[in-house]
Structure 1
Amino acid sequence: MLCPRRKRPVKDEDFSAIVVPSMKGHGYLDYTIESHPSKAFQLMDELRHHGLLCDLVLRVTYKDAVVDFKVHKLVLAACSPYFKAMFTSNFKECLASEVTLKDVCPQVISRLVDYAYTSRITVGEKCVLHVLLAAMRFQMEDVAKACCDFLIKNLEPPNVIGIARFAEEIGCVELHQRCREYINSHFSEVIKEEEFFSLTHCQLLELISQDSLKVLCETEVYKACTDWVRWDAEARSQYFHALLNAVHIYALPAKFLKRQLQSCPILSKANSCKDFLSKIFHDMTLHKYLPPTPYRGTKLFYVAGGYNQQSLASMEAYDPRNNTWMQLAPMEQPCSGLGASVLFGLFYTVGGRNLSMQSNNADSATLSCYNPMTNQWTQLASLNTGRNRVGTGELDGSIYAVGGSQGSTHHNTVERYDPETNRWTFVAPMSVARLGAGVAACGGALYVVGGFDGQNRWKTVERYQPDTNTWHHVASMNTARSGLGVVSIDSYLYAVGGYDGQRQLNTMERYNVGRDVWEPVASMVHSRSAHGVTVYHDKLFVF
């Protein structure tokens, strides 16, 4: 017997079966195919390449070239607010089957259309700027960001000014900001490139007016200005005085300023500029009170070497802006009892001793220089004699190494280092030997405070006058101290902590240079000796 074939159900009412719901009453189907969007776009891209279902022709005209691209409006609108507005608003292009795009390279449009369908773009470095410009024009933010990231990653001194100018012209704020940051951080390299000399005087003035400019010494800023003027002296000399006003003139070394006044060809033809610098140089030589100069770049406090069961080679830096420490390149040899100075942006360590199992514990005569731009150390001319627990100070562009000891001999001798000649020379000795003395410059003189001669712990203070190469005693401290820290703020010297022969001290006293008198000031929370002190924004920091 043949049974009649049932018809295939095509409507809900054709189903005779009764669906019994789950006893729990909340069953449902939720299924996502992750590959569906990419497969859909892949199919649309295939349709585009075959010219199928395309509802728009993009006619791209560039110079003498005319190129047509068959596309789908929906795809362009999905990835570009520009095209979305064009095709969904009351613009004439909304119903048009052909749209003309002018002044954009067809190769660039080809890459952007490919991206719209495939979410991938490949661009050579010579074409990136063109693609970025088009991406900004058509509001394709992801492409624009990818181009910016690529350009930022490939910033170099020869190209950064051109890219910065381009970013400013097209309104790409982030790229422009990153270029400015790069220029500030690599100023000494950028000013050697040809692009630098294409800056207008307004652009150069804006650049050197920034305190975020990272330079070792203000001489780099001054030289950048003179080099820029010399590039076209006839046209640019008129801007030199305005540029000098943006240079931190009072931060220039007096020796450098003197040489410029004597031999700078730009100054020889600019009398007003020469008079301006001559007055400042005169104030420097008379050691008048000079106005404080803003910091360039990042102000860091360096802590090098020291002792923790043995001498240390490590070096750290403290950033007072965000209260953080960072590790820097270590010294070549462990060292404690060293002196340290900063001169023209370079950090110098002087003398000391290597107290470790691997060394002979000899007192050192080495001079090492750390360059924060390269994070590298360089060995320079050695002292004439080894000096452990040496005091150091900076005055008139030179470093002074004061006292210290070598073996059982305590020194009253003093040496001066000239960074221009890389030589140490002896100057007049102090009246007594001093180990662990505090040293600071104030008012054109070098002050040496306290110390220890092997038997006596001193409260006496000596002042060195470099113009006469002589030492003079001034008022003594109230407390004898060795291993103290000394800094100058305005016309005061601060003697901080130290050791009085029986205990470490937390007391601090201040010397009034004008009145020649010491007076006590607030004590520290903790007692300290053989520590470091520095000044930042008229505040005293102790390490």
Structure 2
Amino acid sequence: MSLSGGSGSPSKESISTNSSIETNGNLPRDSSRFSLFSAGSSTSHEEPYQCKGHAEHSLSCMQSYLQSGKLCDVTLIAGNNGKRVQAHRLVLSAASEYFAVMFTGNLREAGESEITLGEVNGDILQSVVNYCYTGTIEIREDNVESLLSTACLMQLNKVVEACSSFLANQLHPSNCFGIALFAEHLHCPTLLQTARAYISEYFMQVVQNQEFLQLSLDQMLILLAREDLNVISEEYIFHSVINWVNHDHANRKSDIAQLLSFVKLPLLSPSFLTDNVEPYVGEDLSSHKLIMEAYRWHLLPERRLQMVNSRTKPRKATLGKLLVVGGMDKFKGGTDIEVYDPRSDKWEILCPTTGRRLQFGIALMGDKLLVVGGRDGLKTMNSMECLDLKTYTWSQMPPLNTHRHGLGVALLGGTLYAVGGHDGWSYLNTVERWDPTSRTWSFVAPMQTQRCSAGVAVLDGKLYAVGGRESSSCLKSVECYDPHTNKWTMCAPLTRRRSAVGVAVANGYLYAIGGQDPPSSNPSYVRFSCVERYDPSTDSWTIIASLSGKRDAVAACLFGNCLVAVGGYDGAHYLNTVERYDPITNEWTYLAPLNMGRAGACVVAVPNREATQTNE
């Protein structure tokens, strides 16, 4: 094809370069007199044009060139089997940061036409190159490991994500450690995190598999250090350690003390320590030091604040659950029981109660939740109901001798006490005791003071009644019941009068949380955020860190090694907030809120109930 026809007219094959192009005769040769735009137009209309599918079409063309071997400017050689794969540098560089650095920088490979990639499989290399042109790659069980390794090398992030997701879907108790180690080796943080979370969630099944027994000591220590292991009891952790040691006892017996330092021995029962831990460790002095630490934790609860370390902090899964029952909400009576899971930090509806119940008491006896007395919004009740926590069915139990609302309830020595309250006519100082063997209620010695809405708890084998209301005034007084003498004695008073106060026990101390006190000069209620702690050894109260806000009718209990304060009323709102108190740091922090605001509810910690694992 000629670009010039010499001195004559252009041929049919030539390309004209004249500024004026002759058309089919409808327009004159000189078209300068015609305009495509309106006369006098002063604005410029510029509309960018975008061709849909342009990028895909271009890549498709490049793939066609690749398949036909045209314009290829580099050959990649798989170091694993020598397979040769042609490609275009531009396409590889656009898809992979690895190739972009290789071809656009000062590396030696930038000027080479053949490049050998060590330890890369030929078939995988071909698949990866094809992916750079198509954005599509096949992931299978038989290629995912090599593909992920190659994708990590070539920084193909989307392929890494797809392979990681594929492997995450293959996680099983028999392979999760292998996948975690593979992800750690390739520096795939997402897959590693997913695998570790799986190991924690299914720990009790995982430790039954061969992979667990083949872990190294360092890997075992990293595993045992995790606080999110989903185990019912720390006993399972101990048994898993013993199984690992026994798998190669000759070489691993010297590691026992180091492993036991990651087992929370103080949280095991003294009987378990005596029957299982001591016999296994034999004469190992380092292990015995850890056992003695655990015994001291049990023998000296009043010194626990000085003995705190990582072994005294429960794993979340071993805490069990929290149950919140009843109380008053904006609809004037909550009828749903809520359950709190510390691993997910969420409250969920567990089951309904049999009806409205306010100013009542609850206690846990085995797997039975007892709900005692209270009001249904109209009348004061003497009934006791039982919720079976295995079947979530309700049944009626023998009633109290006295109708009571605003009573306090606590377990002491295997029997249940119902303390004080109001019978609908007058404030009460009477106390009843439930014997689960005879299934009868009987009266014990009355308190020295009539009390309604007092806080009731058990400390050091004695029953305490804290504050409350008597007639028109709130109380500062505190009294203590000794079941051996059947007598109530007065203790040091609170620093201020408190009614509707939350009371709980932790580490040998009694805590009084929030409450109210209407002054005689002002009929409106004064609510508290302040908290105080009672030391029975000195018979004295001490002010500690306050709640985040004022609340009365607050529910409180011990959960693990911390206190929880649930719900309440601040004078304007029924609260759904939940706070946790750490006695070590003397700080309150928030947990997940309830699904509904509740004042005057009751809360109880429900331990894990599954039977203890035996050491096989």
Instruction: Report the TM range for the smaller structure's normalisation.
Output: 0.7 to 0.9
Per-residue Cα deviation, 1:391-419 (whole angstroms, up to 9, x for no partner): 56689xx9874326999797621568xxx
Report what 1:294 is aligned to.
313
Report what 1:403 is aligned to.
418
Call closer, same or farther: CA 1:33–1:212 in 2, change over 3 Å: same
For residues 249 and 409 of structure 2, the distance between their equivalents in structure 1, rounded to whole angstroms, comes to 43
Match 2:127 to one of 111, 115, 133: 111
Aligned length: 511
Match 1:202 to one of 191, 203, 218: 218
Residue 285 (structure 1) shift: 3.3
Report what 1:55 is aligned to.
73
Match 2:338 to one of 310, 315, 325: 315
Q: Is the 8 A contact 2:371 2:385 kept in 1?
A: yes
For residues 107 and 544 of structure 2, the distance between their equivalents in structure 1, rounded to whole angstroms, comes to 77
Report what 2:432 is aligned to.
412
For residues 149 and 289 of structure 2, the distance between their equivalents in structure 1, rounded to whole angstroms, comes to 48
Match 1:101 to one of 117, 121, 139: 117
For residues 108 and 241 of structure 2, the distance between their equivalents in structure 1, rounded to whole angstroms, comes to 54
Matched letter for residue 315 of structure 1: E
Report what 2:553 is aligned to.
529
Q: What are the equivalent positions in structure 2 for 1:294-373 lying under 5 Å apart?
A: 294=313, 296-297=315-316, 303-308=324-329, 309-315=332-338, 317=340, 326-333=346-353, 336=357, 349-352=369-372, 363-367=383-387, 369=389
TM-score w.r.t. the length of structure 2 is: 0.67
Residue 440 (structure 1) shift: 3.7
Call closer, same or farther: CA 1:436–1:59 in 2, change over 3 Å: same
Residue 179 (structure 1) shift: 3.1
Call closer, same or farther: CA 1:162–1:435 in 2, change over 3 Å: farther
Match 1:221 to one of 218, 221, 237: 237
For residues 101 and 454 of structure 1, the distance between their equivalents in structure 2, rounded to whole angstroms, comes to 86
Matched letter for residue 455 of structure 2: G
For residues 541 and 425 of structure 1, the distance between their equivalents in structure 2, rounded to whole angstroms, comes to 41
Call closer, same or farther: CA 1:519–1:160 in 2, change over 3 Å: closer
Call closer, same or farther: CA 1:354–1:484 in 2, change over 3 Å: closer
Report what 2:20 is aligned to.
14
Further displaced range: 402-411 or 199-208: 402-411
For residues 498 and 5 of structure 1, the distance between their equivalents in structure 2, rounded to whole angstroms, comes to 105
Matched letter for residue 351 of structure 1: V
Match 1:123 to one of 125, 132, 139: 139
The higher radius of gyration belongs to: 2
For residues 427 and 363 of structure 1, the distance between their equivalents in structure 2, rounded to whole angstroms, comes to 12
Call closer, same or farther: CA 1:540–1:532 in 2, change over 3 Å: same
Residue 541 (structure 1) shift: 8.0
For residues 374 and 410 of structure 2, the distance between their equivalents in structure 1, rounded to whole angstroms, comes to 22
Residue 113 (structure 1) shift: 2.0
Q: Provide structure 1 residue ranges, at least 5 long, that are not aligned to the other structure.
A: 370-376, 417-422
1:151 maps to 2:167: yes
Match 2:294 to one of 271, 280, 294: 280
- Secondary structure, counterpart of 1:69 in structure 2: strand
Q: Is the 8 A contact 1:254 1:285 kept in 2?
A: no
Matched letter for residue 328 of structure 2: Y
Q: Is the 8 A contact 2:302 2:509 kept in 1?
A: no
Call closer, same or farther: CA 1:150–1:522 in 2, change over 3 Å: closer
- Secondary structure, counterpart of 1:33 in structure 2: coil
1:513 maps to 2:536: yes
For residues 137 and 130 of structure 2, the distance between their equivalents in structure 1, rounded to whole angstroms, comes to 7
Report what 2:608 is aligned to.
none
Q: Is the 8 A contact 1:440 1:488 kept in 2?
A: yes
Q: Is the 8 A contact 1:414 1:430 kept in 2?
A: no
Further displaced range: 470-479 or 496-505: 496-505
1:70 maps to 2:86: yes
Residue 494 (structure 1) shift: 2.7
Q: Is the 8 A contact 2:96 2:156 kept in 1?
A: yes
Residue 36 (structure 1) shift: 0.8
Per-residue Cα deviation, 1:166-194 (whole angstroms, up to 9, x for no partner): 12212223332343344344444433333
Residue 79 (structure 1) shift: 0.9
Residue 275 (structure 1) shift: 5.2
Residue 67 (structure 1) shift: 3.1
Call closer, same or farther: CA 1:34–1:243 in 2, change over 3 Å: same
For residues 508 and 248 of structure 2, the distance between their equivalents in structure 1, rounded to whole angstroms, comes to 44
Q: Is the 8 A contact 1:413 1:429 kept in 2?
A: yes
1:486 maps to 2:503: yes
Call closer, same or farther: CA 1:511–1:171 in 2, change over 3 Å: closer
- Secondary structure, counterpart of 1:163 in structure 2: helix
Residue 37 (structure 1) shift: 0.8
1:45 maps to 2:90: no
Matched letter for residue 242 of structure 1: Q
Q: Is the 8 A contact 2:383 2:397 kept in 1?
A: no
Report what 2:256 is aligned to.
240
Match 1:35 to one of 19, 31, 53: 53
Say what the alpha-carbon RMSD is for the aligned residues.
5.0
Call closer, same or farther: CA 1:232–1:280 in 2, change over 3 Å: same
For residues 171 and 363 of structure 2, the distance between their equivalents in structure 1, rounded to whole angstroms, comes to 34
Residue 31 (structure 1) shift: 0.7
Q: Provide structure 2 residue ranges, at least 5 long, that are not aligned to the other structure.
A: 1-8, 22-29, 558-563, 565-579, 591-598, 600-616
- Secondary structure, counterpart of 2:84 in structure 1: strand
For residues 78 and 91 of structure 1, the distance between their equivalents in structure 2, rounded to whole angstroms, comes to 17
Q: Is the 8 A contact 2:545 2:587 kept in 1?
A: no
1:170 maps to 2:191: no
Q: Is the 8 A contact 2:264 2:314 kept in 1?
A: no
Q: Sequence identity of aligned pairs in percent?
A: 23
Q: Is the 8 A contact 1:428 1:470 kept in 2?
A: no
Matched letter for residue 17 of structure 2: K
For residues 461 and 68 of structure 1, the distance between their equivalents in structure 2, rounded to whole angstroms, comes to 89
Call closer, same or farther: CA 1:88–1:526 in 2, change over 3 Å: closer
Report what 1:449 is aligned to.
465
Q: Is the 8 A contact 2:504 2:511 kept in 1?
A: yes
For residues 108 and 115 of structure 2, the distance between their equivalents in structure 1, rounded to whole angstroms, comes to 10
For residues 192 and 438 of structure 2, the distance between their equivalents in structure 1, rounded to whole angstroms, comes to 47
Matched letter for residue 529 of structure 1: A
For residues 128 and 471 of structure 1, the distance between their equivalents in structure 2, rounded to whole angstroms, comes to 74
Per-residue Cα deviation, 1:147-175 (whole angstroms, up to 9, x for no partner): 22333455444333222211221222333
Further displaced range: 447-456 or 150-159: 447-456
- Secondary structure, counterpart of 2:383 in structure 1: coil
Report what 2:572 is aligned to.
none
Q: Is the 8 A contact 1:157 1:190 kept in 2?
A: yes
- Secondary structure, counterpart of 1:412 in structure 2: strand
Matched letter for residue 431 of structure 1: A
Per-residue Cα deviation, 1:285-341 (whole angstroms, up to 9, x for no partner): 35452223335349997644433333421426598x9xx984413225356456568
Residue 139 (structure 1) shift: 1.6
- Secondary structure, counterpart of 2:336 in structure 1: coil
